[in-house]
Each structure stands twice: as structure tokens, then as C-alpha cells.
Structure 1
Amino acid sequence: MTAAQRFAELRPRLVRIAYSELGDLSEAEDVVQEAWLRLERAGADSVCDLERWLTVVVARLALDALRSARARRETYVGPWLPEPLLSPDATEDPADRVTLDETVSYALLAVLEQLSPAERTAFVLHDVFDVPFDEVADVVGRTPQAVRQLASRARRHVEHQRPRFQPTRAEHDDAVRAFASAIAEGDLAELIAVLDPDVIWTTDGGGQATAARKPLRGADRVARAWMALRRKPAIAPEATPVAVNGHLGLTIAVTDGHAMVLSFVVERRRITRIDAVRNPDKVRHALARARP
């Protein structure tokens, strides 16, 4: 097998690693392409373990890109949310869903945004992709023991943010469908019923589309805000089901011409978090990638 063939075989995993570090698929693909160019310059014959070499190089490049991105995001208009990965429906084969859920879950990516770049990298590489600590140490430039501590801190944070009661696929999908039905019918009571009392709704407009600058909290406030959009009307009543990083989500047309992609976190049959991506660049890329 040639180096090019082996790289093509490894590329999906490398892109998932970079995407999990960055939360931006376009940047992740650029990182992986740069890794290939570096391999060509170095000469594949000089590399003993191609998978290990590419994993370390991609992770290092992604870490550098993440540090740069964090500086840019300090001036970002409103909340920054990861770029979603869309597919036409949420009926993937269960084996495929496990891969997606473990590597690029949207809810996990949102939580990882709260970590330092080094913590995020250590957690993604070790806990998600099973990269040994000595290799992770090569990426972040610290000792294996220091990397263990980084991963441990990140793991505690992720566990604290993760729902205590993980929903089944049916429970998640039922809650999302109930949300879509309430929006379509303009039923405030139905919408409040499917929302957790402490639900949080975050919208990423990136300064290019109308969006709240701060998250909205509480079932009554969130539900009434959605009903206000429905009555204006600022949004189309009918939402389109779509798989967002392997879980059922929605896309909704908006009268300003910039659609939104919705991702949901569900616990005990109620929606605890709604992430709405309205940044036209992210939505356009996501929709384009979802087309056959």
C-alpha cells in the first residue's frame, strides 16, 4: 500500500480528530491537508509508523489552530458554537451512530469549548480516540504525567456537564418532534411542557444574522421567545428533521434569508439545551456537506 493510499484510509479519522479539537470542519480539513503536505516534504519512507506520525502532526496543527482561533473568538459577536455536521436524516446504522456519538457529538463539542486548548486536546486524543498518553505528551509538549492531569481535569468537567440520565434514542427523538410540533401549531403550553424548567437556548449569529447576544434561560422565557418568532412571522412554521452530528435535530427557514440549524440535549424526556446556529457561513457549509 502506498503512502497516499494509507493516508486516504486514515483521513476520515484524522479529520474527526481535528474537528473534535477545533469544532470547525473546514479548518479541520485544512489541518489534515497540511499534514499530508508535511508528509510529502518529510518523505513517507522516513516514517516508521505512519498512523502515529500523522496523528501527532494533525493534533499539533489542530492545537496551534485552536489557540489562534481562541484569540479570534474573543472578538466574535455573540456566542460561538461549533460548526454542525448534517446528514439528511437521523436513521444512520446504529454502528455508525456510535462512531459519531463518541467522536463528534455536538453536545460534547459545546462542552469542550469551555476547556483550555491543552485540556481539550488531551481529552479528545486520549478519552475519545484512545491515543496513548506518551503520544499526547508529544502533541502538547508536556510530560505524560502532566497530560494525565490535563485529561483528568477535562474529564471531570465533561462529566459535570453531561446529563445524569442519558436519554434513549427514542426519548431524544420524541422530545425533538414534540418541539417541532409545538412550533408548527403555535402551541405555547405544548412547547413549555417539552422544555426543562432550566432549559438554555444559545444562538450563534456571528454578527451576520439576527441572534441574541446572550443565552436565554428558563422554559417560560424560551417558549415565549419561540412563539414570538412564530407570530411575527420571523420563522417558517414547519421545521425539517435532520441529523446533527448523529442525533435528530432541525433546520428552520427564517424570513431574513439565513436558516438556522438546531441541536438539542434531552434529559428525562425534556429538552435541557437548544443550540441554534445561524452564522450564514457555518449553515451554508453544513447544508452543502449534507447534500448527496
Structure 2
Amino acid sequence: MPLHTYETDLFESSRSRLEAIAYRLLGSAGDAEDAVQDTYLRWHAADRDRIETPEAWLTKVLTNLCLNQLTSARARRETYVGQWLPEPVLAGDRMLGPAETVEQRESVSLAMLTLMERLSPNERVVYVLREAFGYAHREVAEILDLTEANCQQIYRRAKQHLTTERARTEVDAVAARKVVEEFLAAALSGDTEPLIRLLTDDAVSVADGGSQVPARRTPLVGALGIARYLRGLFRPTAAKRAVAGGSTAVHAAVVNGGPALLVAVGERVIGVVCLDPTPDGVGTVFLQVNPDKLRRITRQWAAAGPHRPLAELW
């Protein structure tokens, strides 16, 4: 059945919300776009005269598509090379969705997206719809074909899985840049002590290179070990320049709501280092160098240019 203009407009008015839900559920902007496009195809094919509440219908279809992807993604990640990290997105990306509340901002941080990998598919859906989008338990229950009581139990269980003793520190763009500048200066100093002072004692570093770019395959724990690792990572060599494919520059950015360093060759982003600040220092360092997960952020970065780098590396 062909779409009327108002039906197309109705879907397009929901697209940003659907993408933001899908990104939180899947941790991948590319997969989120695909899920929303599949939702559009189902909207196009549906008997729309029988759909009483389009927003609820679209959310349910999208959620079921994401549930299927989450189930298959678990199997794929068992064979993933090294550590799997979410796809990073720049501030202003519509994938980030609403950011009025602490819960909404927290739900899209790399730290939380990584933690949510611990949840079952149903737990993740309930948590995201309830915590980040304010759906009532009754509405979530209808989307998942569950009882409201069961939905509430799943939500409590998800919250327990995501509980962490480490408090995160929210930062604005100015504070984020200061964190990045201090961190980069410490990393380029050639000494471990400045980095150790910026990290918490039990800091964790996680890198994702997929099967395409060499990256540490297991998390690194402890300020001293991470400081030594980063000192070597930021040390310029001809070999690194050759791998990068040109002169490399480091920029300050806000990624998934937190401070980040973007490593770029021209307008091509080849690495993103996201810092998770706490009151005691940087608690987690996320390094994303998998090219498949840097395509969107590269397009955004190039479109927003030109950029003045903090430093030239190699």
C-alpha cells in the first residue's frame, strides 16, 4: 500500500527517536540505522488504517527487530577478535537522542553501553525504554508482550546488573577539553608519572581493533600498567606513521557525552580515545581503532571541519 505524504511525514518525525532507541539497544550506529530502515519497510507494508497508535506500533516493531539482532550479536561476539566496544559518536549526533536528564545522558555513555552488554536482550530493552525514554512499565510490557509485574522485575534485575561503586563525573564541553588537554600532555611527556596522577589506582583500559587493526586483546588494569601502555602508544615512530598512512594529529572532542581524543590523518579518523572521568581521576580509557566503527564519526568530523589539532603525533 503506497504511503501518503502524511504517513511518510509521521514516520520521519519518529526517525530520530527510533534511531536513538536502536543505538542504545545495539551499541552500533550503523546497525541502528539498518533497524530503523527495516522498521520503515514494515510501516510501508502494513495495513496502516488498522494501526491506532503509530508511535507505539513503530516502537514495538523496532524493538522486536533489535531483540533479534541482540540475540544474534551475542553469538557473533563470541568469535569477535579481541574486545568489543560500542561505536563512538560525536556530540550533536541524533543517535544520542534526548539528554535532558542525568539518566538519559548516562544511558548513552560508552561506559554504560559497555556495561549493558551484560544484560539479557529483554533486560536491555526494559532498561533503555524505562530509564532513557521514560516509558511506563505498562507501555514497555505491551511492547514486549509481558505482564506489567514481570516488566518491573526485569527492570529491577537490570538495575542490579548495572550497579557500579564508581561514580562518574559529568563534564561540559569546556571541562571535557581541559581533561583531554591534561591527558594528552601527560601521554606525550614521555614519563609515566603524569599519567599515573590522572588515572585512578584501579583504572581499566580497553581497546577494540576488531580483526583489522592491531590492538590489545585483553583489558589492562591498574594505573601503572596503563600509563606504560599509553606512553608507548603515543611515542612517535616511522612504523606508526606508515601504518596510519600519513601525518597524524590529535584533536579534542566530546564523544558519547564524555571527553575524548580523536586521532586523525587529514579528515579521516583512525582512532578515538574516550576517557571516563570520576571524582578520583580517569577510571576507564576506551580505545576504538576498528575502522568499521569509525566511518560515521569520520563523516561527522569531516563535515564539521576544519579543525585545529592539539598536537601533531607521527
Measured against aligned partners, the alpha-carbon deviations of 1:191-232 in whole angstroms (never above 9, x if no partner) come to: 111111111000001111010110011111000111122335
Amino acid aligned to 2:160: R
Is 1:146 matched with 2:157?
no
Alignment of 1:21-100 (within 5 A): 21-87=25-91, 98=100
**1:164: which partner in 2?**
167
Measured against aligned partners, the alpha-carbon deviations of 1:70-97 in whole angstroms (never above 9, x if no partner) come to: 11111001110001112599xxxxx975
* Stretches of structure 1 lacking an aligned partner (at least 5 in a row): 90-94
Alpha-carbon RMSD: 2.6
Share of identical aligned residues, percent?
A: 36
Is 1:107 matched with 2:111?
yes
* Stretches of structure 2 lacking an aligned partner (at least 5 in a row): 242-246, 304-314
Contact 1:183 1:237 in 2 (8 A): no
**1:259: which partner in 2?**
270
Measured against aligned partners, the alpha-carbon deviations of 1:131-180 in whole angstroms (never above 9, x if no partner) come to: 2223322343432211211111111222326x335344365543332111
Q: 1:226 aligns with which of 216, 230, 238?
A: 230
Q: Distance in 2 between matches of 1:49 and 1:2?
A: 15
Instruction: Give the TM-score of the pair, scaled to structure 1.
Output: 0.88
**1:287: which partner in 2?**
298
SS at match of 1:186: coil
Measured against aligned partners, the alpha-carbon deviations of 1:89-120 in whole angstroms (never above 9, x if no partner) come to: 9xxxxx97547725522222111112111111
Query: Structure 1 residues 171, 131: CA separation in 2 closer, same or farther (over 3 Å shift)?
Result: same
Contact 1:87 1:291 in 2 (8 A): no
Cα offset, 1:276, TM superposition: 0.7
Query: Structure 1 residues 86, 160: CA separation in 2 closer, same or farther (over 3 Å shift)?
Result: same
Q: 1:248 aligns with which of 236, 246, 259?
A: 259
Contact 1:178 1:191 in 2 (8 A): no
Amino acid aligned to 1:272: G
Contact 1:184 1:237 in 2 (8 A): no
SS at match of 2:253: strand
**2:184: which partner in 1?**
180
Q: Distance in 1 between matches of 2:15 and 2:235?
A: 46
Instruction: Give the TM-score of the pair, scaled to structure 2.
Output: 0.82
Alignment of 1:190-205 (within 5 A): 190-205=194-209
Contact 1:87 1:290 in 2 (8 A): no
Query: Structure 1 residues 184, 88: CA separation in 2 closer, same or farther (over 3 Å shift)?
Result: farther
Contact 2:89 2:296 in 1 (8 A): no
Q: Distance in 1 between matches of 2:296 and 2:168?
A: 33
Amino acid aligned to 1:268: P
Is 1:239 matched with 2:250?
yes
- After TM superposition, the structure 1 stretch with the greater mean CA deviation from structure 2, 234-243 or 210-219, is 234-243
Query: Structure 1 residues 253, 226: CA separation in 2 closer, same or farther (over 3 Å shift)?
Result: farther
Is 1:13 matched with 2:17?
yes
Q: Distance in 1 between matches of 2:114 and 2:256?
A: 12
Is 1:116 matched with 2:120?
yes
SS at match of 1:160: coil
Query: Structure 1 residues 231, 289: CA separation in 2 closer, same or farther (over 3 Å shift)?
Result: closer
Q: When the two structures are aligned, how many residues end up with a matched partner?
A: 284
**2:310: which partner in 1?**
none
Q: Distance in 2 between matches of 1:129 and 1:75?
A: 32
Amino acid aligned to 1:277: Q
Amino acid aligned to 1:104: V
Q: Distance in 2 between matches of 1:208 and 1:281?
A: 9
Q: Distance in 1 between matches of 2:200 and 2:257?
A: 22
Amino acid aligned to 1:106: L
Measured against aligned partners, the alpha-carbon deviations of 1:23-79 in whole angstroms (never above 9, x if no partner) come to: 011111111111111111113322111111111111111111111111111100111
**2:309: which partner in 1?**
none
Contact 2:208 2:289 in 1 (8 A): yes
Q: Distance in 1 between matches of 2:164 and 2:63?
A: 25
SS at match of 2:153: helix
**1:92: which partner in 2?**
none
